[in-house]
Chains A and B, each alone.
Chain A
C-alpha cells in the first residue's frame, strides 16, 4: 500500500529548479509525480528503458534521439534536475523573462536554445556539425523504408547545399539558425492548462 513518491521534493529544490528552468511551483510538483511514476526502479533516476515504456514515444520516429537528449554525454541515468532542464526547452517563450534577470544567461526556452535542441538531434557524434552522413541517418529514421536511398541522398544533398554557406559540406549551428529563420518557433512549446501556470 506504499505511496508512489519514494521521497518528497524539498522546498529548496523546488525553488532552485524554478530559478533554473522557469517552471511554476505547481508545474514542478506535477512533473515530479510524472517523473516518479515513470521511474519503475524507484531509484530516483530514469533510464532509457523507462522512457521506452511510453508507447507514444516508442512510435515516434525520432523517439530514440529525443530520449538521448535527456542523457548527458556517456551517462545512462538522468535525475530529476536533468529531466527538468531538458523539458524546460519546450516552455513557451516569454519576452518579459529577459527583463527579470538581465545579467543571467539566456533562458533555456529561448529561440536559440530551442533550435540548439533540434540541432543536437541531427548532430549524432556531438561535434557541432551536421555532416551528410548524419543527416542521412536521421532522415532514414524519419521516413523508414518508404523512400529509396537515391531519393533520400538527393534530399540530403539539396538541404546541405541550401544551408551551407562556408562550403565545408556540413551544417554548423549558425547555418542551421539561418536556414530555420522562417520557422514558427512558437509551435515548439508544450502548452500547459492555464490553471497550472
Chain B
C-alpha cells in the first residue's frame, strides 16, 4: 500500500515537473519547444491517409454518400424580375399585369430554401469533406477497414488518456495564475510598471490556456495589430476567440458580469487593467453602453476594446450581420478575421446543444485547434456613410480576408424569428413587378388624352 503511494507521488512529481518546465515556463516567455507543431504535422499526414482510405472505401461501397460542404442545389442568381420574365417567357401582358403562374416563382424559391438554406446551417457544426477520426463528426460512417478502426481506437486513447489530463492541468494552472496574478498586480499603484506587469500576467495566462487546447495560431499582417484607443472587431465562433486574440496582444474585454467562476475571473481581471464589464441591467440600455465605451476609447491611452459585432457564435463558414452598435462608438476600427481549420477540431460552440463546460471538455478532447488570424488595416467611418453601411463594409473586408461567406442575415436568427420587414420587402418587390406594367399602360392613356 505504501509502495503504491510513493509510486503515485513520484509519478505526480514527474508530471508536474514536465508540465511546469516544458510547458508553463516557455509559455511565459512566448517560446515554443516545437512539440505541438510536430504533433500537428503527424496528425495532418494521418488524416490525409485516412481520407484516401475512406474515399477508396466509398468507391467500393457506393451506398455511402459523400458529404458536400458547398451545398447540394444550384440556385439561380437572378433578380425577381428576371426570373419572373423567364417564367412567363417574356410574354407581353397588356391584358393582365399579373399571371396565375407567378405563384410558381415563389414555390420554387420556397422549395429551394426547404431543401437547403443559407442560414440554418450556420448554427450547427460545419460538415467535413472527410471524416477526421473523431466519433463526434461521424455523419455516415460505415466500417471501412481494420486499419482505420485501429487508428481511431489509438486516437481515442491518446486524446482521452494522454492529452486530456495534460490539458486540464494546464487549464487549471492558467486560470488560477490569471486570478492570482491580476489580484496581486491590482495592489500596485497606477504607474507604467503596473501596466507592464499586467500585460505580462495576461499574456502568460492566455498562452498557457492556448497550450491547454493544443492551439497553433498563425498571425498574419502583424503590422496592423490594433492600437491603443482603437476598437478591435472580429468574427465570432467560440468563446476561445478571446484566448486566440489575447495571445498576441492585450485587449480590454467587453461583456456582461457573470456569476460563479467566470465572475471571479472577471472581477480579478478588472483590478489590473480597465476591462469594461456591465451589469445585466446596464446591457439593456444601449445608450449607457455606448457612452461608456465611447469614454474608454476617447482616453487614447487605454487598451483597444475587443468586440464581436455578430453578437453570437457562428460556425466559421460565414460572417453574419455585424450589429451597428459597435460602429457608432467612433474611433478607429481594427478588423480581424479568424478562421479555424475544421479538420483537427471543431471549435464552434453550439450553445443550444452544449453548455460551456461540455463544450470545453469536447474541445479539450479534440485533436488540436489550428487557427489563422489576419489583422486587417484600420478602417474609419467615411462621410456620407451611416453606421449600417460602415458595418457592412467592415464585414465584407473580414469575410473576404478569412475566406468566409458574406451573409446579410442576422446571427440572432439562431434563437429568434426573422423580422417582418424582410417579408414586406419581398412583397414590395413583387408589387413593383406587377404594377410597373400598370403604370406604363397608364402613361399611354395619358399621352393619348393629350395628343
Binding site for B on A (CB under 8 A): 1, 3-4, 11, 25-26, 29-31, 33-34, 37-38, 51-63, 66, 87, 90, 114, 117-118, 121-122, 138-139, 142-147, 151, 155, 158-159, 162-163, 171, 176, 179-180, 182-184, 187-193, 195-196
Most central of A55, A151, A180 by chain B CB within 10 Å: A55
Q: Taking the complex as formed, is B261 at the interface, i.e. its CB lies under 8 A from any CB of chain A? A: no
B409 interface residue (CB < 8 Å to A)? yes
- Whether a CB of chain A sits under 8 angstroms from the CB of B32 is no
CA distance A193 to B116 in the complex (A): 12
Please give 19 more A-B residue pairs, beta carbons under 8 A apart, in addition to A26-B66, A158-B95.
A54-B119, A55-B117, A56-B119, A60-B113, A61-B423, A62-B110, A121-B107, A122-B100, A122-B103, A144-B431, A146-B435, A182-B89, A184-B88, A188-B87, A190-B108, A190-B111, A190-B115, A193-B71, A193-B74
Q: Name the A residues within 8 Å of B109 (CB-CB).
A: 56, 60
A57 touches B113 (CB 8 A): yes
* A34 CA / B95 CA spacing, docked (Å): 43
Smallest CB–CB gap between B350 and chain A, Å?
12
In the complex the two chains form, what is the Cα distance from A129 to B379 in whole Å? 60
Q: Mark B65-78, 1 if CB is under 8 A from A, else 0.
A: 11010111111000
Interface check B48, CB cutoff 8 A: no
CB distance from A88 to the nearest CB of B (A): 10
The answer to whether A57 touches B89, judged by C-beta atoms less than 8 angstroms apart, is no
Residues of chain A contacted by B102 (CB below 8 angstroms):
142
Per-residue CB contact flags for chain B residues 95-135 toward chain A (1 = under 8 Å, else 0) read 11111111111111111111111111000100000000001
| A155-B98, A182-B91, A183-B88 given; A31·B124 CB < 8 A | no
Are the C-beta atoms of B430 and A61 separated by less than 8 Å?
yes
Contact partner, A58, options B86, B104, B417, Cβ 8 Å: B417
B117 contacts A30, CB within 8 Å? Answer: no
Partner of A90, one of B74, B111, B417, B423: B111
Question: Interface range on chain B: under 10, 10 to 19, 20 to 34, or 35 or more?
Answer: 35 or more
A-B contact pairs, 19 of them (CB 8 A): A25-B62, A29-B65, A34-B115, A34-B116, A38-B120, A54-B119, A55-B413, A55-B418, A55-B422, A60-B113, A66-B114, A118-B104, A142-B102, A144-B424, A146-B431, A147-B431, A151-B438, A159-B96, A183-B104
User: Counting CB contacts under 8 A, is B13 at the interface?
Assistant: no
**Cβ of B426 < 8 Å from any Cβ of A?**
yes
> B418: which A residues are within 8 A, CB to CB?
55, 58-59
A90 to B435, CA, bound (A): 29
Interface residues of B in 5-60 (CB under 8 A from A): none
Q: With a CB–CB cut-off of 8 A, which chain B residues contact A155?
A: 96-98, 434
A193 near B107 with CB under 8 A, answer: no
Interface majority SS on A: helix, strand, loop or mixed? Answer: helix
Q: Are A57 and B110 in contact (CB under 8 A)?
A: yes
Contact (Cβ within 8 A) A57 B96: no
Q: Is the Cβ of B98 less than 8 Å from the Cβ of A187?
A: no
Chain B residues with CB under 8 Å of chain A are 62-63, 65-66, 68, 70-75, 83, 86-89, 91, 95-120, 124, 135-136, 138-140, 362, 409, 413, 417-418, 422-428, 430-432, 434-435, 438
Whether A1 touches B104, Cβ cut-off 8 Å, given contacts A37-B124, A144-B424, is no
B98:A56 contact, CB within 8 angstroms: no
Query: Out of A55, A118, A144, which one reaches B101, CB within 8 Å?
Result: A118
Q: In the complex the two chains form, is A3's CB within 8 Å of B96's CB?
A: no
Q: Are B73 and A190 in contact (CB under 8 A)?
A: yes
A183/B87 in contact, CB under 8 A: yes
In the complex, chain B residues whose CB is within 8 Å of the CB of A159 = 96, 98-100
Residue pair B422, A59 in contact (C-beta under 8 Å): yes
Quote the shortest CB–CB distance from A116 to chain B (angstroms).
Answer: 12
Q: Closest chain A residue to B108 by CB distance?
A: A188
- Report chain B residues within 8 Å CB of A31: 115
For the complex of A and B, 3 pairs with smallest distance between CB atoms: A144-B427, A56-B113, A146-B431
Return A118 CB to nearest CB of chain B, in Å: 5
> B72 contacts A55, CB within 8 Å?
no
Contact, CB under 8 Å: A158 / B96 = yes
Distance of A1 Cα from B8 Cα, bound (Å): 33
Complexed CA–CA distance, A143 and B119 (Å) = 25
**A29 to B96 alpha-carbon distance, docked (Å):** 43
Cα A59 to Cα B423 in complex, Å, equals: 4
For residue B68, which residues in chain A have a CB less than 8 angstroms away from its CB? Answer: 30, 193, 196
The CA of A88 and the CA of B78, in the complex, are separated in Å by: 24
Residues of A within 8 A of B113 (CB): 54, 56-57, 60
A118→B65 contact, CB < 8 A: no
- Are A54 and B427 neighbours in the complex by a CB distance under 8 Å? no
Which residues in B have their C-beta under 8 angstroms from that of A53? 120
Q: How far is the CB of B365 from chain A (nearest CB, A)?
A: 10
